[in-house]
């Protein structure tokens, strides 16, 4: 039971990241009709907003301490972050400690700008081109972004810890009347799940309850008719591209304390998230979210020792890395449009 609960929590957590990225992918596909393979790179750029925020807070004034020496025997250079110099020790340290949540404030404008430049500068030229061209150009763009980040920040992972208040785990076992420590789960992963639930709800509420959202939905259903009504739907779709980039970026920022970010993290998520979109149904926002959580949970269960032992008993290798693809095959064989896909999407 404890293992079951733990893997459900793990699945929800993994699913949160898949769902957030898949949501953005679907939003772009639904509005602009573009299969954006650079979306994982946007997730990674968001994560590096957190790294940048941390580095900004750590920009230091260098003084020489003649009483100590460095590894070469030269007088030691002592670094004092300017935020401590300017705001005092407690406020300065608090800013450094909370650099990940504070990076959300940096990520929103940065990601909107990156999304806007990406759409206006490159992707709009491919609207009328085949999907294969769109995939190739966005995949190429992802590699370019990746290499720029690597050249700027290096190839190694960079630790970006959560605020010290959220280090540690919550004891679910005690809450459910089980033994202490039976089911514990890290605070930050719970926060990530809650954060993704808020973002997903906000996107749905925005599309459902605002006039802007209503026009966008109408444009997704029938772009031409909305255009004939005198509404500049292209401008709104460009803004939605920026919004989708911001969603991916925010997901990336909050993910950094879970795994130290590196330049390759976007690619790690992209393929899985694309499968999530296909399983959920191309163009279906609820489908993307549902499939994200479903596949996250299935992936977690597949890596349970009991499941591995079962497959070993049948002389089969474990399926933890391929379960998502197996499910995708089954879903596409039985429901070719995905779980919640609509007729006519990518079927021309």
Partner 1 sequence: MRPDLGRITMSNFTRRGLLKTGAVAGAGLAMPTLITSPLAAYTNEPTGGSVTLGFNVPQTGPYADEGADELRAYELAVEHLNGGGDGGMMNTFSSKALKGNGILGKKVEYVTGDTQTKSDAARASAKSMIEKDGAIMITGGSSSGVAVAVQGLCQEAGVIFMAGLTHSNDTTGKDKKANGFRHFFNGYMSGAALAPVLANEYGTDRRAYHLTADYTWGWTQQESIQAATEAKGWSTVNNVLTPLATTDFSSYIAPVLNSGADVLVLNHYGGNMVNSLTNAVQFGLRDKQVNGKNFEIVVPLYSELMAKGAGENIKGILGSTNWSWTLGDDGTKAFVKAFGEKYGFPPSNAAQTVYAQTLLYADACERAGTFNPCGIAESLEGFEFDGLGNGPTLYRKEDHQCFKDVLVMKGKENPTNEYDALEIVEITPRAQVEYAPDHPMFAGGDLGQCNPGA
Q: Where on the chain is the footprint of partner 1 (CB under 8 A)?
A: 2-3, 6-7, 10-11, 13-14, 70-72, 150, 154-159, 161, 168-169, 181-182, 184-186, 188-189, 258-260, 262, 264-265, 268, 299-300, 303-305, 308, 318, 320-321
CB 189 → partner 1: shortest distance, Å? 7
Q: Yes or no: say if 265 and 47 are a contact pair by the CB < 8 Å rule.
A: yes
How far apart (Å, rounded) are the C-alpha atoms in residues 296 and 12? 6
CB 6 → partner 1: shortest distance, Å? 4
CB 95 → partner 1: shortest distance, Å? 18
**Distinct helix (H) and strand (E) counts, the chain:** 15, 4
Nearest residue to 190 (alpha-carbon basis) of 63, 66, 2, 10: 10
Q: Which is nearer to partner 1, 111 or 297 (CB)?
A: 297
CB 273 → partner 1: shortest distance, Å? 13
CB 37 → partner 1: shortest distance, Å? 18
Q: Which is nearer to partner 1, 59 or 105 (CB)?
A: 59
Q: Yes or no: say if 196 and 251 are a contact pair by the CB < 8 Å rule.
A: yes
Distance in Å from the first CA to the final CA of the chain: 48
Q: Which is nearer to partner 1, 258 or 328 (CB)?
A: 258
Find where tokens 């406020």 sit: 91
Three-class SS state of 14 = helix
Q: Which is nearer to partner 1, 2 or 234 (CB)?
A: 2
Tokens in use for 21? 């990225």
Nearest residue to 340 (alpha-carbon basis) of 282, 298, 296, 295: 282
- Structure letter (DSSP) for residue 76: E
Q: Which is nearer to partner 1, 115 or 186 (CB)?
A: 186
How far apart (Å, rounded) are the C-alpha atoms in residues 244 and 45? 13
Q: Which is nearer to partner 1, 51 or 279 (CB)?
A: 51
CB 147 → partner 1: shortest distance, Å? 8
């Amino acid at each position: 039971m404890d293992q079951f609960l733990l893997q459900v929590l793990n699945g929800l957590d993994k699913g949160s990241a898949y769902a957030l990225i898949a949501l953005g992918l679907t939003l772009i596909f639904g509005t602009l009709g573009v299969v954006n393979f650079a979306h994982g790179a946007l997730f990674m750029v968001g994560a590096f907003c957190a790294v940048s925020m941390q580095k900004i807070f750590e920009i230091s004034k260098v003084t020489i301490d003649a009483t100590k020496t460095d590894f070469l025997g030269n007088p030691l250079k002592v670094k004092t972050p300017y935020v401590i110099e300017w705001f005092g020790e407690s406020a300065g340290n608090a800013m450094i400690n909370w650099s990940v949540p504070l990076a959300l404030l940096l990520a929103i404008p940065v990601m909107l700008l990156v999304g806007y430049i990406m759409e206006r500068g490159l992707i709009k030229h491919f609207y009328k081109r085949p999907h294969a061209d769109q995939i190739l150009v966005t995949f190429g763009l992802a590699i370019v972004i990746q290499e720029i980040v690597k050249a700027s920040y290096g190839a190694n992972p960079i630790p970006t810890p959560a605020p010290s208040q959220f280090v540690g785990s919550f004891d679910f076992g005690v809450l459910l009347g089980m033994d202490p420590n039976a089911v514990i789960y890290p605070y930050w992963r719970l926060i990530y799940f809650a954060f993704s639930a808020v973002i997903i709800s906000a996107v749905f509420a925005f599309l459902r309850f605002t006039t802007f959202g209503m026009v966008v939905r109408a444009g997704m259903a029938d772009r031409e008719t909305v255009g004939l009504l005198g509404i500049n739907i292209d401008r709104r779709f460009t803004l939605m591209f920026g919004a989708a980039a911001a969603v991916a970026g925010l997901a990336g920022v909050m993910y950094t304390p879970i795994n130290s970010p590196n330049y390759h993290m976007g690619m790690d998520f992209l393929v899985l998230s694309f499968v999530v979109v296909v399983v959920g149904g191309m163009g279906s926002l609820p489908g993307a979210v549902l499939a994200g959580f479903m596949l996250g949970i299935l992936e977690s269960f597949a890596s349970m020792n009991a499941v591995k032992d079962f497959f070993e008993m049948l002389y089969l290798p474990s399926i933890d890395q391929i379960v998502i693809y197996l499910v995708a095959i089954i879903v596409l064989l039985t429901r070719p449009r995905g779980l919640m896909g609509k007729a006519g999407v990518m079927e021309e």
